[in-house]
Amino acid sequence: GVTAGGRPLVSGKVKREMRHDVRREMKQEMKQEMKRDLRHDWRHEGLKREMKHTLKREHEGLKREMKHDLKREPKQEVKKQMKVRKELKVPVKADRGAEVRHNVQHWVTEEGLGRGGSMKRTRLDDCGGMVEGVRYVSARAGEAGRTWEYGSLKREGRDELRGVSRSSQVHWPWHRSDPSASVAARLPWFISQCRASQSVRRPRGAPPRPCCLAQRFVESPGPRARDGLSCYERLSKDRRQEFRAYVEQADADRRTGRRRFSARFVR
């Protein structure tokens, strides 16, 4: 039959079968979708496991490398320190050996030793030159008279005016100057005295001390210079004449018994 609207008549049994078919199809579609979702989840879990395993393996590799580097760096640092100590120890030994040889060979020859006579010595000075001197010995046993070191100063291949000591302790050159010599003959000692004073390191806060006799004649006095130029070389022509006159007057005063405060510079 046909309905009033022109639709075919469907029995109740057919309707039930149609509903059952629709439900079954929906269930099948839902099962298929669930299977697809499960497969996707399984793949996702597999990727997660692979990524986790890869990250763990890389992390363990980095830990091993860092541990190896940490063990190797202290060894390399210790080796470097030992190498530096060896390099520093070699020059120190060489300097000590040179200082010992310098002290042993300080007095080269000695002759003419006798009671009431004189003793002649030839030795090396701090600059490597040869100095010949005479020491007068008193007639009384065990008592030595004043010592004057004078005569010829022989230099071999070195500048006559260079007076810097080899060792750390500077032996002041004015103790070896000859008071009976002229001012011109003693100028090398004054100049070497000033240069040797520049090489001495004084403690911080120590009171000022004149480096040489010519320092008081410098036109613009100030702190000690350390450029290797002596105070006498800084003086002008007029100042040098004043310096010479002062030294000659000091020698004359010493001969007459008078003593000045700076006599230790000119003796």
Domain spans of the chain? 16-95, 161-266
Model pLDDT, residue 70:
75
Q: How far apart are CA 105 and CA 121, in angstroms?
A: 12
The rounded percent of the chain whose pLDDT value lies above 70 is 48
Q: How many helices (H) and strands (E) does the chain have?
A: 5, 5
Q: Rounded to an integer, what distance in angstroms lies between the CA atom of residue 165 and that of residue 172?
A: 9
Q: Which of 234, 220, 224 is nearest to 198 (CA)?
A: 224
Higher pLDDT pick, 51 / 2: 51
Distance from the Cα of residue 118 to its chain's centroid: 49
Provide the pLDDT for residue 229: 82
Q: Copy the structure tokens of residue 129.
A: 């030159």
Spatial distance between the Cα atoms of 7 and 66, rounded to a whole number of angstroms: 83
- Residue 42 has a pLDDT of 65
Q: Residue 178 — pLDDT band, cuts 50, 70, 90?
A: low
- Whether residue 117 has pLDDT greater than 70: no
107 touches 121 (CB < 8 A): yes
Q: Which of 131, 126, 132 is nearest to 103 (CA)?
A: 126
Q: Measure the CA–CA gap between 130 and 158, rounded to whole angstroms.
A: 12
Residues 202-253 pLDDT 10s: 777 666 677 788 888 887 766 666 677 888 888 889 989 998 888 888 777 7
Q: What pLDDT sits at residue 228? A: 74
What global pTM score does this model have? 0.32
Residues in the chain: 267
- Answer yes or no: are the C-beta atoms of 121 and 137 closer than 8 Å: no
Q: CA 22, CA 18: separation in Å to the nearest integer?
A: 6
pLDDT tens, 70-102? 777 777 777 777 777 676 665 545 555 554 444
Q: Which helix (H) or strand (E) holds 81?
A: helix 12-104
C-beta pairs of 87-93 under 8 Å, 24+ apart in sequence: none
51-55, 146-150, 161-165, 256-260: which range is least confident on average?
Answer: 146-150
3-state secondary structure of 236: coil
